[in-house]
Structure 1
Amino acid sequence: DFEPLAIAFKRVVNIIKQARQNDALDPEFVLDPSLFQDQSESRLHEAYIRVRDRVSELLNSERHGRALLEIASLRRFVDDFFDGVMVLTDEIQLRKNRLALLNQISNLFERIADFSKIST
């Protein structure tokens, strides 16, 4: 079912878009896994690393459908992340780190489709 997938990914893309508009996304900030406080952050990051490398290979060989399936495997990790943490926390370093993680994921999504344009 594509709709739950689109909802999860659209949420990521919209948070990043809003953060850019509000200058909350620091392009110089480097993701720091040592700042992760919840297992959902670590799990999402680990899953992202695995999927990112496979998606790059698949896109290079023009296997777009398979690349989308790989990205879809991130959905449960994205859902767990949003259930486990408050992205826009008052703690600046944590907020920057969480936004950096979501930005990496958003960039990966955008290699396949513009999820912000998908109607849900």
Structure 2
Amino acid sequence: MKNERVYKMSFAGVYPHYITKAEIKGRTKEEVDIIIRWLTGYTQDQLQQVLDNKTNFEDFFAQAPALNPNVSKITGVICGYRVEEIEEPLMQKIRYLDKLIDELAKGKSMEKILRE
């Protein structure tokens, strides 16, 4: 049930927190958007539409054009869980995004964050 609440949360409601976390550490909204687009395959216009429509996380990932084929390279701990071991597919995708934003805030280069 706890996960269900997260899935129904508006992506637009959490998005400003991603930006704030990045900007506090000297990173930019543009970098946050690049990460989101890299992970999901959304274009900038599609991302803006998701935000305008207040799409929830469940639909955000269900409607994503294409999850990046390199997501398996996203490893490590976020919120006390190893992202590569999370069994619930939707929660794993949400945590992938959390992990990438966390890496941005910690000062990693965009090349490393985007697994290039």
**Structure 1 length as normaliser, TM-score?**
0.35
Q: Which has the higher helix share?
A: 1
Larger radius of gyration: 1
